[in-house]
Chain A
Amino acid sequence: MASRAPTSVSVLGILRATSCRPAAALKLQRFYHSYEYTQPPPFQPAESAILSASISHVPSYGFTLNALTLGACDAGYLDVSTNLLPRGVFDLVNYHLVMQRLALKDTVQFPTEGGQGRSSSIGAKIRALTLARLHANRPVIHRWQEALAIMAQPSYVPASLDELAQLADEIWFLAGDKSVDSSWYTKRASLSAVYSATEVFMTQDTSKDFVETEKFLDARLEDAIKVGGFLGAVSGWVDYTGHSALNVLRNKGVRI
């Protein structure tokens, strides 16, 4: 129970299962989001070594084979060692996605319930988490359209959608949504849609500190409530505690 499904294949299996057997899927989903975060490392050591070194070349070289080759050399491997990554540049994109998803729980923390003051509403937390995840794309934002193009390649679409669903689950989970009911599908789907639309918008945003992206995100979140996906789950995105959630983020060095 403690560990999450380690491979994307099994996760995909779970997603597939959701379409036909909602009840079983819901059970799985909740196990899958165990409270104990003792998960196996998401990448093998050699893969990690090459990929983490490669990521630092993305700002200059993009999500390309060149970045991978340079990363392999930095990590002490050979050019040819990039063959360890069967999906090539998609593995590089995927590494960024997975690492940034897993980093969310550390970059964003909310005052614990029972602590002094009221905790933020789920809606405000969703907003803060989504924004924090978007901001994690900042160092590579000028390369992000490349990444989107790679994710859109037919053979990588299933894995990319799977990762997007996992991000949505993670955000709902970290926001403290524990409800187990049929609204789970719409919640996941709506947040996935909101997130991807905003992510694309952000690649063209030239405003200072991405304020336009933030506005765009708020508009999409409002839409989501109107359309009904989040109805019942959240009543709004910014309440009086919303500011405190943001302040927490700012204090933690997240530039929002």
Chain B
Amino acid sequence: MNGQASRILLRRQFLEGGRTRVSRGSERGFSCSVRRYAQQQQPGPGPERKSTQTTHFGFETVAEGVKEQRVGAVFSSVAASYDTMNDLMSLGIHRLWKDHFVRNLNPGRNPLTAPPSSTSTPPAPQGWNILDIAGGTGDIAFRLLDHASTINHDAHTTVTVADINPDMLAEGRKRALSSPYARTSRLSFVEANAESLTTIPSSSIDLYTVAFGIRNFTHKDAALREAYRVLKPGGVFACLEFSKVNSPLFDAVYKRWSFAAIPLIGQLVAGDRDSYQYLVESIERFPSQTEFRDMIKVAGFLVPGKGWEDLTGGIAAIHKGVKPM
């Protein structure tokens, strides 16, 4: 009872935004970023915040404009302890899922098997142009580039990591320094909202990836439409996301784990219960495999086979869509 009450209290404080975060944040080395968030919130309703429509933040219903800020606060808050969080949520297997996700996409153009460019057609571009949305810490981007380089001997494929959150991008840039792609043109980071990718030209992308990001978007349908717009005809939308567990028994066990244990562990490991609570709830709210597959179709994509692949009994799923010619 007590725990429950204090959790709600904590969450309320957290959701109030900046001020409480500053003191907590500075201890953990986030002072700059958190202050930036606090400042952003002070001027009151900006043009995009006027919306009176509501959406979900975890299990709460909040004004749409607020969700974006709150999601921002969550990821600012977990940026550094981010891997811990993924380990907790995926029972430690998100790395295997990500490996599988990337291996299956088989990114990169193998120069040995690429079709010879004939004189009649313009030469095909040498590598793929990949956009990794909500790419935050660069986890997926590094894997994509590693696969292209080592498996397909492709030294041209580029990945643009786009994320709405500057703190996640900063973490990604930091990690990129210790990768072979630091200071090459193959990897770049841009701050962008998946729902309106104004800086990305239409029909310019071969592969659009989004891993564990889409459930945080306020308008998933708008994000899908943008994905469709930026992809070349024949280009692929690929999404790795927590999903609905298939077996009722396993579902019960996993829910127990995720709702009871993860926020608590989040508190102990990262000192941040509320962010983890949000993450658990946002997973529960995310559409089922079939619903999401249908959303992808509505956006105009062709889906391969039944449209998705379950991972580990449906804890996560990979959805794909191909933009028709």
Contact = CB atoms under 8 A, between A and B. Distances in A.
B325 A76 contact: yes
B260 interface: no
Contact of A80 (B207, B302, B306, B324): B207
Interface size grouping (class) on chain A? 20 to 34
Nearest to A44: B302
A74 B121 CA distance: 11
A46 to B, nearest CB: 6
B184 interface: no
B238 interface: yes
A80 B105 contact: yes
A66 interface: yes
A80 B105 CA distance: 7
A66 B113 contact: yes
B305 A87 contact: yes
B234 A70 contact: no
Contacts of A70: 113, 115
Contact of B206 (A46, A80, A86, A87): A80
A78 B302 CA distance: 14
Interface in A40-78: 44, 46, 61, 65-66, 69-70, 72-74, 76-78
Contact of A79 (B128, B306, B322): B128
Given A46-B302, A86-B304, A79 B320 contact: no
A80 B304 contact: no
Given A81-B322, A83-B238, A86-B304, 4 more contacts: A61-B113, A70-B113, A79-B206, A80-B207
A106 B322 CA distance: 33
B109 interface: yes
B311 to A, nearest CB: 14
Contacts of A61: 113
Nearest to A67: B113
A12 interface: no
A84 interface: yes
Nearest to A71: B115
A78 B234 contact: yes
A100 to B, nearest CB: 22
A42 to B, nearest CB: 14
B115 A46 contact: no
A77 B324 CA distance: 9
A87 B305 CA distance: 9
A224 interface: no
A158 to B, nearest CB: 15
Contacts of A80: 105, 107, 128, 206-207, 234-236
Contacts of B244: none
Given A44-B302, A46-B325, A65-B106, A77 B113 contact: no
A195 B134 CA distance: 52
B232 interface: yes
Nearest to A9: B306
17 contacts: A44-B302, A69-B110, A69-B113, A72-B234, A73-B115, A74-B115, A78-B232, A78-B234, A78-B235, A79-B206, A80-B105, A80-B235, A80-B236, A82-B106, A83-B105, A84-B304, A86-B309
